Structure 1
């Protein structure tokens, strides 16, 4: 290949790279090595920060005239020493021309060109929208925590007074008091565990390493149905698998599905719980004898705050299924719903491992997603 042909090919690859990056809204850059001379920088850089390519070039060279870009320049200069093919991702803080802080995610890799030279190429991604979303999420969690905790504190105080002032109440009445107190304590504990601002901010990002036996999780669902006074039909294979994940989170996800079945099906009707090996995981099933999921609600049933047409007059906040799916997503599982002849059916798939924890199963999953079955 002649030098001219190689240059043309190189330029064509650069153009493709820039186009793909900028279509996604990112800032593309390309830096010659070992000179660290900036060969290309998207115009979006100037639009975001109010500075030109020369400012970034000086920052890469370590010149103090552009301290606002110092952290970014230092990071890119250090990335130039990576071997070809290595990829580095780091968040850096810079300041725009007006002195306001801007968070960037820098993604960089070294590539070998056809003429045997090397270049540092990558993307700069504005983190402003992501950080604003996280701030909104924390505010929402704080509001939700307060709105739930206030009435729960009222219920807790009232039931304690009833227990203290009713020493001669009949035993069935005292048992009902105790059930209310236990349920209230459990809800308060769930607020502390799952709806704290830090916890909500971690949804979709953090999964605590731990395991729970698939059989144990199924039995807890059956216990929940029996405590509610509902007939429970269990359809389960012999389960020897453990589930990779945080036990309390997985318990909550299944509890939400059972609660949903209890809420949206007639009193006294049967709820079916099932579990079976599926691919490299275990698929749990919760089926009720209610009216099923209305077709217009199917696409939105896992959305935050969404309440279906059949929820009118029923208690709830529209957060249960959203929270369940968020937990399942964190654990690498899938949650989907569909209707049977008798009612709604939810299927929850979770990755599994040997109960001993010694033999990890493959990470493949069944060919389904979080969308509803039609």
Structure 2
């Protein structure tokens, strides 16, 4: 028998400690459930597959301040120079860098602007025919860009006639079949899809466009330039150290800045999310420790208050296992009520977080696992004090009162 009646009567006589512990368990369950869910969601976001060899890619910015220079020709010279550096697989002049948090986007339709058709937002990259090899992404259908596709122009309204699109964008625009070889529109510019990329994350990992990207074979010369370089494995650091010397030796009237690996750019972009994960992990650890200490302390307090009763029960022949069982059951009752209240609070909190911060809906499985963990943790926390109570000598207990 678990002797529920004496346990409940004892709790009713000393309600304040039990209520405080119950509230602590409820709060811990509610917060830990949501924190664990958010941590898992953020980790999935931080570790999402990008389709890019991040450890082998780096970018740098360059500002040319020299006069009387043909920027288009200089870009070609610089690209050739970069590709000739030992350890470099390919290099490209590009308008935006994936995973960096900065880029360009637009809306694309299946029909021209004067006709009604579904529209989809996507990010885009502009570069020459070396872009796919530089990015190191996989083409799953169609062909790569070639030199005859590349358009060199400073006119922002002009777009090339062909483009590569990501699989995700293709599937959203053509859910019923293949869009390879078909035409999409940016305003009134007709663009033919010549190739489909398996996976290429765009500049914004949290944005709805993160999996939707196009690559245009276009070069827009500018005095402010951005280059992306892909190196052989383990050669990136050595190549990065050589970039400035190589380029300045060829043409000194320029400034090279922000030489960063793609993984570093990504880390800076997701820094707030990384910090959030770490803070929530600390919060969970602190809450669990405080709750465990609270259970431990309350049990010790109850033992000290009940020395005479424990001693009397021992003198009447109660086994040590019965004493231990008593405190385990008492603690389980308190903890179970706290977990039930905390679970309701967790679901309410999850709904509020979803409404206020557009977070995903809290999965009930997280509440169940958290509740089970809290109950298990409480049992471990009470075992030590319960064994201490069971070891009390009947004669010492009665003399101590």
Short-chain TM bin: under 0.3
Choose between structure 1 and 2: higher helix proportion. Answer: 2
Higher-Rg structure is 2
Q: Which has the higher contact order (CA 8 A, sep 6+)?
A: 2
Query: Which structure is higher in strand share?
Result: 1
Q: TM-score, normalised by structure 2?
A: 0.25
